[in-house]
Amino acid sequence: MTEKYQMCNRCVMDTTDPDIQFDSRGICNHCRQYDNAIKKFVFDGREGKEKLSLIVNEIKRSARGNEYDCVIGVSGGVDSSFVAYKVKELGLHPLAVHLDNGWDSELAVKNIELFLKKLNIDLYTHVIDWEEFKDLQLSFLYASTPDSEIPSDHAINAILHRIAHEKKIKYIIYGCNIRTESHLPKAWSQGHLDWKYIKTVHKKFGHLPLKTFPHMNLLALSWYSVTQKTFNVLNYLEYSKKDAIKILENEVGWKYYGGKHFESIYTRFYQGYILPKKFGYDKRRTHLSSLICSGEISRQEALEELKREPYPQELQNQDKEYVIKKFGLSEEEFGRIMNLPIKKFEDFSSYETSLLYKGMRILLRTFKIRSPW
């Protein structure tokens, strides 16, 4: 981290990102990358409709009489819920997949049940083994990196790819989009698809064998890259989070839960309490910065939001008590975890440091296959 504090003159990213860089105008690298990504991967108006139509037709053709032509992940949040709404509007026949990792909020569960029933979309729910998962999550807390959310992200991706493989479905449609989630510092979280990193952390700090945890090793990732296709449908729409919320509320009875990824109790507590208090990372900066660049909010509105607590103090206290109890920790032990020396992704073995990983990337590039990394 640079010694002098600085905030971007366009968004609200600042030097809490240790790798941030500013140009002569005081604009950060995240904003420049955002502009480049918008030009390259986001399609509006007529061009977007034409490209989307071609892709939708290809997805339909790929089904070859299959009951489903695509797989979508659903969490109960805005983006994934709007994807479900949109793919049905486009005439696709998705299979919705949900990972129950033991942390779903009651509202998220109700959202999923409600809008999928109204949209007539079938749901497959994978219930994770809680004792294994608890052991893995605790391992990351003791590892003291800011990456404690990646076990869930990894499992979700693994389940989506596995179900697509089992059902012989070629396309996985994601709710990721450049407009609203682009300002993502690597130092704040990485290793989402890196099974070696996850295994290394668990081997050092875990106690139970991961017999059933959904995962993808390097070979599986590469195989899925060859046999399956992923598609970020929201990049082909004039996507506005505010508009998406209104549509979902008015047409399928969906209810807003209060923050980015706050449909999960643990995510809400981790992003709103542990990350800012232990690491000094306020994830709201990333979300708000993307919304500034997309024109959904002003920079001043974002600055006002950052003056407030990440979420209500009373709810933070409730979540803290709930998380500590669910993990089987004492207040003292949780305090010790919060005070452990901070570590980084680079302090642990990962695929990124392996020759096999580098070889796989070269091979995929050679055959012009989209890399999952």
Of 100, 244, 228, 234, give the one whose Cα is nearest residue 168. Answer: 228
Task: Indicate whether 79 belongs to any domain.
Answer: yes
SS3 355: helix
Strands in 122-127's sheet, in edge-to-edge order, are 122-127, 94-100, 70-73, 171-174, 229-232
Task: Indicate whether 28 belongs to any domain.
Answer: no
CA distance 225 to 255: 35
Tokens 């892709």 found at: 55
Task: Indicate whether 127 belongs to any domain.
Answer: yes
pLDDT, average across residues 192-202:
96
Task: Indicate whether 26 belongs to any domain.
Answer: no
Task: Indicate whether 274 belongs to any domain.
Answer: no
What is the per-residue pLDDT across 336-346, written as a single tens digit (0 to 9) for each? 999 999 999 99
Task: Indicate whether 185 belongs to any domain.
Answer: yes
> 94 is in which domain, residue-wise?
38-260+344-366
Task: Indicate whether 25 belongs to any domain.
Answer: no
Q: What CATH number corresponds to the domain at position 141?
A: 3.40.50.620
Beta-ladder partners of 125 = 98
What is the per-residue pLDDT across 32-88, written as a single tens digit (0 to 9) for each? 999 999 999 999 899 999 999 999 999 999 998 899 999 999 988 889 999 999 999
Q: How many domains does the chain have?
A: 1
- Whole-model pTM: value is 0.92
Task: Indicate whether 178 belongs to any domain.
Answer: yes
Residues 6+ apart with CB under 8 A from 341: 144
